[in-house]
Chain A
Amino acid sequence: MRFGILFLVAAAFINADIERPLIGTIRDLAGDLRPVYGVAGAFVLGDVITEDAESAKSASNRESARAEAEGTLEGDEVVIRRTGVRLRAPAGVSDVETLGKGWLLLRSPSRLYAVRTDAGREEIYALPEADK
């Protein structure tokens, strides 16, 4: 059975937005909260986000909960839970957190890394430093 579906095309694009692609938020090496924009292989750290205690606490809780579901560090390997794929972690990595949907964050004393967790596209990327 055919059914008619009318799409308000003109209206649809009145509701269209083009914006920066946001991957997630991180605490950079200096401890500042920043957004991470970009696509795989092309990342940009945004300006520091001014936070209040409540938003910081809820963000922390979210991150902790999702980190359990996304990936873990086993020795020198990052294990992506959803796909079981193992990737060799860069030297010095000691912690894994959630970065955003489909992304993990690896933390070493001198550098941060983003790990893509989408099936078939698992890869580790270096995150750029924030501009001074």
Chain B
Amino acid sequence: MKRLASLIFAAASCCLAAGQLQLFQAPQNGTEQLVTGSWELPSVQTGDSVSTRFRIRNTGDAAVSLTALRVAGTGFSMTGQPSLPHIVAPGTNVDFTIIFRAPDSGSYSANLLVNSTGILLRASGVPAATVHWNGTALTSDTSIDLGRLERGSETVSRFELRNGGRETVGVNSVSVEGVGFSLTAPSPAPVVLKPGESATFDLRLRPLTSGILTGKLIVDRREFRLTATATEPQMPRPAVILDSGTLRSGQQGRLSIRLASPSKANVKGRIRLDLRPYGDVKDNDGAARFITGGRSVDFEVKEGDSIIRFGADGELIYQTGTTAGTIVFTVEAGGFTEQASLTVAPEAAMIDRGTAARSGSTIDVRVSGYDNTRTVSEVAFTFYTKTGQALSGMPIRVAVARDFASWWTSSTLGGMYSLKASFPVTGDAAQVTAVEVQLTNTSGTTKTERLSF
């Protein structure tokens, strides 16, 4: 049924105000067209809308006051107009937009009033099925927000094609565009709907990436914007697994980072090694570290991982260094902070290697190792003859606390040391053929084997 509005409009002339204002239809990317008397807007499907931009230009050489600008008619509205009164300077424009939304099929008209001049606007509503979602009839300018969901999960939304009019309508095509968006079944179109009939279809969203997602639902020529927000799945809680809870100084250990379940997320993380020495010992231990990366190692958790891999290994090698205390491993990933620790006990000074050599009448003794307590106070030397007897006056005890304290202050190697002592010999130095070296700290004493030279 056609519906006509009975409107009386003023006779149109080529100019809207005393030889100065003219009205044009101004498309976004096209040529302006002079509007005289009436204007036909594009047809639109029932329930949908169309926007048309118009432009008032002052073609004269004097300013004109725009005092009236309005539209009246079923389905017609105006946006973008200036507040009135508005002075239009010579050569300048005023733009505004007329929106027509077809409530039903049929013909519609409206009066566009510009100052004292009226223009007849016409438009038609074409019979079509309306698209409904969540009980709401959709128009082309509405955005369908499918909500928040985790990347890799899925949501299905039901849409309905409904014929609320009095004529049979057809829908030729239904399609979806956008990464992650799809129809769950073959398109319901083409479909013919009698008055009162409807057809449904389901739209699936399965985000492949996290972030803001956009797509389009296209029903014949109508497009409906789809949006959603995909969040990164939560990573499972990580745990640091040590191969031992107690190690000595000077040892290498292994650890792994395991997840409570296979990860659904791709996440970056970091594991850190912190050394907390006992007492007031300073952490200057360059050997307390991971084999790769020093005191921290970055890693990536990939979807499906349940063990973090470091290079080709599933384990990370670390050194306990040469400082007594607690080593704390902290892993940070996916919003979690988890820790594991191991104890490195104080011990008597460790001698890793001892050598002695005669050079003329001097005997050089070198001892290297570590003192993880930094408290070595005495070094004792016992020299032996070739018959295996200790020389009289042995051992030679030397107080070394101050020398070592100075060394620890400047060293960056924790408790490591290499001590060289030279002994000038008076008499037959060839008779002296071996030496034992003993170090004493607060945890005890350590002695080398008999070093021959």
Contacts and interface: CB of A to CB of B under 8 A. Distances in A.
B142 interface: no
A39 B426 CA distance: 34
B417 A128 contact: no
A54 interface: no
A41 interface: yes
Interface stretch (B132-140, B316-324, B439-447): B316-324
Nearest to A9: B396
B68 interface: no
Contact of B398 (A3, A9, A18, A111): A9
B322 A42 contact: yes
Nearest to A43: B287
B62 interface: no
B421 A16 contact: yes
A42 B419 contact: no
Contact of B418 (A9, A19, A43): A19
A84 to B, nearest CB: 21
Nearest to B416: A21
B336 interface: no
Interface in B396-419: 396, 398, 400, 403-404, 407, 411-414, 416-419
Interface in B284-321: 286-287, 289-294, 311-312, 317, 319-321
A53 interface: no
B398 A13 contact: yes
Contacts of A128: 287, 289-292, 294, 319
Interface string A49-68: 00000000000000000000
Interface in A1-28: 2-9, 11-13, 15-22
Contacts of A126: 252, 291, 317
Interface stretch (B145-153, B172-180, B427-435): B427-435
A129 interface: yes
A127 B292 CA distance: 9
B6 interface: no
A28 B157 CA distance: 59
A111 B311 CA distance: 11
B287 A44 contact: yes
Contacts of B404: 18
B425 interface: yes
B251 A41 contact: yes
Contact of A39 (B369, B424, B432): B369
A91 B312 CA distance: 10
Given A3-B427, A41-B319, A42-B322, A12 B407 contact: no
B416 A37 contact: yes
Interface string B187-203: 00000000000000000
B263 interface: no
Contacts of A5: 383, 391, 425-429, 431-432
A contact residues, range: 35 or more
A8 B311 contact: no
A37 B419 CA distance: 14
Contacts of B400: 13
B403 A6 contact: no
A38 B350 CA distance: 12
B423 A18 contact: no
A20 B412 CA distance: 9
Given A42-B249, A128-B291, A20 B398 contact: no
A53 B213 CA distance: 61
A22 B411 CA distance: 14
Interface string B258-287: 000000000000000000000000000011
B422 interface: yes
A44 B285 CA distance: 10
B416 A38 contact: yes
A44 B416 CA distance: 11
A16 B419 contact: yes
Interface centre among A17, A44, A126 (most CB of B within 10 A): A44
A17 B419 contact: yes
Nearest to A130: B294
B368 interface: yes
A76 to B, nearest CB: 16
B418 A22 contact: yes
B368 A39 contact: yes
A15 B365 CA distance: 11
B416 A39 contact: yes
29 contacts: A5-B425, A5-B428, A5-B429, A7-B424, A8-B424, A9-B398, A12-B423, A13-B403, A16-B419, A16-B420, A16-B422, A18-B403, A18-B417, A18-B418, A18-B419, A21-B352, A39-B250, A39-B416, A40-B250, A41-B251, A42-B287, A42-B322, A43-B319, A91-B312, A118-B353, A127-B291, A128-B294, A128-B319, A129-B292
Given A8-B424, A20-B418, A39-B250, 12 more contacts: A3-B428, A5-B391, A6-B425, A16-B398, A16-B403, A17-B419, A18-B417, A21-B353, A39-B350, A39-B352, A42-B319, A126-B291
Interface of A: 2-9, 11-13, 15-22, 37-44, 91, 102, 110-111, 118, 125-129, 131
Interface of B: 249-252, 286-287, 289-294, 311-312, 317, 319-322, 350, 352-353, 368-370, 383, 391-393, 396, 398, 400, 403-404, 407, 411-414, 416-429, 431-432
